[in-house]
Chains A and B, each alone.
Chain A
Amino acid sequence: MATIKELKELMLNIGVKNEIVAGVDPARPLSLQGVDSVDCPAFAIAVEEHFGVKISDADSLKLKTLNDFANYITAAR
């Protein structure tokens, strides 16, 4: 299963600021924690590339929290 730590590292890789990533609560929507509409699609693509899963546009809109991403990756693998 994807760990929250791995997902946070991916957030850093796409340029989300350290202070934002450090404070992210995996159960709360990323959009309420300083991750904006430029970061979100880039993060979805980084997740695809790193974990070898496919995230459709429709699915990406449903993935709101880091826990959502972790569960999606587990289900897709």
Chain B
Amino acid sequence: MDRSEALRLLALDRRSVPEGQEYTAAYFEPADGPGVARLFYAVYGDGYPIDTYYIPERLAEENRRGAIRSVVARTSGGDVISHVAFYRSSPPNPNLYEYGVGLTLPSYRSTMAFYRVTQLLMKLLGQDGIDGFYGEAVCNHIITQKLSKQARALETAVEPALMPARAYETEQSAAGRVGCMVYFRVARDCRRKLYAPVLYRNELPILMDGLNLDRELVVSDAAIPPGDGEIEVKRFDFAGLARCTVTTPGARLAGRLAGLEEELRRDDYALIQFFVDLGKPWSGGVVEQLGKAGYSLGGLLPTWFGDDGLLMQKHFVDPDFAGMKIFSERGRGIVEMVRKDWDKTKVEL
């Protein structure tokens, strides 16, 4: 079944979920697939961007192979009234999952269903290859930031102007581009070397504070090895966002960065992000090159590569830092850190 067929069947399904049913939180079973699809359709209509949640057999398969770990609130009648998940997304580290796709049927939002499924989901942390999770909480309101805090995750990075407001149309609360706060919680880890770029050696301890990471901080090499250098680029056309990683450093990196920027500006992109592997001795050289090319700090991404990552970003739109709604003192501190570096980089260019 493909997306259009799944949506056609959902549109024909006239059943409604009776209100006030008893429910239990449970790990996903294949029989929950149709209920999850109905839940997504009830909340998002046909507008949710990821096909998997509309296609029961695909969601069952993704859960079977561990790419998604769904938890549902299931009524005695078999209806699914709430869902949340850990799922593999952007990180190269397969044991670092994203936390999200949380939603509840409107008629059950006054119950504890969403908190029950989250409570059960968090029991997976540290087991079954789920060593940690991260989440991106929007900053046009503070609710998802609060929920991230309740999941005992800590702020480590900020992504100003990450997504176009139209991505949040169902929430009716966004204008322009919406920024996100990045949260991490790492439950299983080992001692690792962290090559700290000179540019951000003062910021890293602040970003790591409270995360209980065992790190040997080493000053990284500012030199870049000879060679062409390679950049892996993932384009998100709908968001005007490119997410990039330097897979091989090289002396021609500066030229490659300029070429990439030219291409993305031509395509009317708003933001380029670079994920720098701080487990590599040459990470300092890459960060220096990115800084010279106008990239500024986004924050720390613990265990992103297995080793930690550093987020750097370059905006082609001016982020509305003052308009970001930030829940915590720590979050406000990181926004200020990121804003200062953005200001500094802008002046230097």
Which listed residue, A39, A45, A57, touches B119 by the CB 8 Å rule?
A45
- Determine if A38 and B146 form an interchain contact, defined as CB atoms under 8 angstroms apart: yes
Most chain A beta carbons < 10 A, residue from B116, B150, B328 = B150
Which listed residue, A39, A41, A49, touches B112 by the CB 8 Å rule?
A41
Q: Which residue of A lies closest to B113 (CB)?
A: A57
- Determine if B112 and A60 form an interchain contact, defined as CB atoms under 8 angstroms apart: yes
- Determine if B150 and A15 form an interchain contact, defined as CB atoms under 8 angstroms apart: yes
- Determine if B143 and A38 form an interchain contact, defined as CB atoms under 8 angstroms apart: yes
Residues of A within 8 A of B150 (CB): 14-15, 38, 42
Residues of A within 8 A of B327 (CB): 15
In the complex, how many angstroms separate the beta carbon of A20 from the nearest chain B beta carbon? 12
In the complex, how many angstroms separate the beta carbon of A40 from the nearest chain B beta carbon? 9
Q: Which residue of B lies closest to A61 (CB)?
A: B110
Is B256 located at the chain interface by the 8 A CB criterion? no
B: number of interface residues (CB 8 Å): 14
Is A7 located at the chain interface by the 8 A CB criterion? no
Residues of B within 8 A of A60 (CB): 112
A: number of interface residues (CB 8 Å): 12
Is B149 located at the chain interface by the 8 A CB criterion? yes
Residues of A within 8 A of B115 (CB): 41-42, 44-45
- Determine if B143 and A45 form an interchain contact, defined as CB atoms under 8 angstroms apart: no
Residues of B within 8 A of A42 (CB): 115, 150
The tally of CB-CB contacts under 8 A between chains A and B is 28
- Determine if A57 and B112 form an interchain contact, defined as CB atoms under 8 angstroms apart: yes
- Separation of A49 and B112 alpha carbons in the complex (Å): 14
Residues of A within 8 A of B116 (CB): 45
Q: Which residue of B lies closest to A56 (CB)?
A: B112
- Separation of A66 and B157 alpha carbons in the complex (Å): 35
Q: Is the interface of B mostly helix, strand, loop or mixed?
A: helix
Complex interface bits, A11-47 against B, C-beta within 8 A gives 1, otherwise 0: 0011100000000000000000000001101101100
Q: Which residue of A lies closest to B119 (CB)?
A: A45
Q: A38-B143, A45-B119 are in contact. Are A15 and B149 (CB under 8 A)?
A: yes
Complex interface bits, B97-140 against A, C-beta within 8 A gives 1, otherwise 0: 00000000000000110111001000000000000000000000
Residues of A within 8 A of B112 (CB): 41, 44-45, 57, 60
Q: Which residue of B lies closest to A17 (CB)?
A: B328
In the complex, how many angstroms separate the beta carbon of B105 from the nearest chain A beta carbon? 14
- Separation of A15 and B330 alpha carbons in the complex (Å): 12
Which listed residue, A13, A38, A44, A45, touches B147 by the CB 8 Å rule?
A38
Residues of A within 8 A of B149 (CB): 14-15
- Separation of A13 and B149 alpha carbons in the complex (Å): 9
Q: Which residue of B lies closest to A13 (CB)?
A: B152
Most chain B beta carbons < 10 A, residue from A41, A44, A60 = A41
Residues of A within 8 A of B146 (CB): 15, 38-39
Complex interface bits, B221-238 against A, C-beta within 8 A gives 1, otherwise 0: 000000000000000000
- Separation of A57 and B114 alpha carbons in the complex (Å): 12
In the complex, how many angstroms separate the beta carbon of B324 from the nearest chain A beta carbon? 18
Most chain A beta carbons < 10 A, residue from B111, B112, B114, B143 = B112
In the complex, how many angstroms separate the beta carbon of B329 from the nearest chain A beta carbon? 9
B residues engaging A (CB < 8 A)?
111-112, 114-116, 119, 143, 146-147, 149-150, 152, 327-328
What are some 28 contacts across the A-B interface (CB < 8 A)?
A: A13-B152, A14-B149, A14-B150, A15-B146, A15-B149, A15-B150, A15-B327, A15-B328, A38-B143, A38-B146, A38-B147, A38-B150, A39-B146, A41-B112, A41-B114, A41-B115, A42-B115, A42-B150, A44-B112, A44-B115, A45-B112, A45-B115, A45-B116, A45-B119, A49-B119, A57-B111, A57-B112, A60-B112
Q: A13-B152, A45-B119 are in contact. List 6 more A-B contacts (CB 8 A).
A: A14-B149, A15-B149, A15-B327, A42-B115, A44-B115, A57-B112
